[in-house]
Structure 1
Amino acid sequence: MPQQFIELGEGYGDVYELLELVNTNQSRFHQAFILTSSKEEKKVASLAVAFKPVGESKFMPIYICREGIPYIEDKPSKRQKIFEESIEQLGRKAVVVEIKHSSIFSESKLFYQYLIGIMRLHHYIPALT
């Protein structure tokens, strides 16, 4: 099953767009992620949601708000809180995964391939078939 990241942006409004995608596609919801990374000793989070394919399609979209949210483990930001609360309303919990920061990759495409590999390895998303 091919998976692809669709980047929404880093801003405050982008998180609300991601949450609206979750609310309008509840039946397609597969998994939510809080992806944490560090750059110059500053920790940031990316929020992402994977959806099941539509109909006969085998395409799995993964929407992401990349590295725009400061991350403090014991003091989540407002954006992270509303994301986690929305996922909990579906009876699920977001998976927190520590990853490498996207700045170490020469292209964002390589960064997203790296993320897909991690997600497949840990069985958060299905293998490529």
Structure 2
Amino acid sequence: MPQQFIELGEGYGDVYELLEIVRTNQDRFHQAFILTSTKEEKKVASLAVALKPVGESKFMPIYICREGIPFNEEQPSQRQKLFEESIKRLDRKAVVVEIKHSSIFSESKLFYQYLIGIMRLHHYIPALT
């Protein structure tokens, strides 16, 4: 099953768009992710949601707001709280995964291939079939 990241952006508006995608696609919800990374001693989070394919399609979209959210386990940001509350309404919980920061990759395509590899390895998303 091919998966592809669809990048929304880093701001509040982008997180609200991600929350609306979750709300309007509850029946397609597969998994939510909080992907944490560190750059220059600052820990940041990416919020992502994988949706099941539509109809006969084998395509699995993964919507992401990449690295625009400060991450602190003890004191989650407002955007992170909104995301976790949205996922909780589906009786699910976001998976928190520590990853490498996207800045170490020469292009975003390589970063997203790396993420798909991690997600498949841990069986968070289906293998390529």
TM over 0.5: yes
* Runs of 4+ residues over 3 Å off in structure 1: none
Residue 9 of structure 1, CA deviation: 0.2
What amino acid is the match of 2:121? L
**1:38 CA drift (Å):** 0.2
SS at match of 2:76: coil
Counterpart-to-counterpart distance in 2, 1:42 and 1:87: 26
Residue 101 of structure 1 aligns with which residue?
A: 101
1:8 and 2:5 equivalent? no
Per-residue CA distance 1:95-126 (angstroms, 9 max, x = gap): 00000000000000000000000000000000
Distance between the aligned counterparts of 2:70 and 2:90, measured in 1?
A: 25
Which residue does 1:51 correspond to in 2? 51
Counting only pairs closer than 5 Å after superposition, residues 15-26 of structure 1 correspond to structure 2 as 15-26=15-26
Alpha-carbon distance in structure 1 between the residues aligned to 2:14 and 2:101? 20
TM-score computed with the length of structure 2 as normaliser:
1.00
State the secondary structure of the residue aligned to 1:18.
Answer: helix
Q: Which residue of 2 aligns with 1:119?
A: 119
Unaligned runs of at least 5 residues, structure 2: none
- TM-score, normalised relative to structure 1: 1.00
The count of residues paired between Structure 1 and Structure 2 equals 129
By how many angstroms is 1:29 displaced?
0.2
Identity %: 89
Give the alignment's Cα RMSD to 1 decimal: 0.2
C-alpha distance in structure 2 between counterparts of 1:74 and 1:127, whole Å: 34
Residues in 2 aligned to 1:92 and 1:26: alpha-carbon distance in whole angstroms: 11
Give 1:42 deviation, angstroms: 0.2
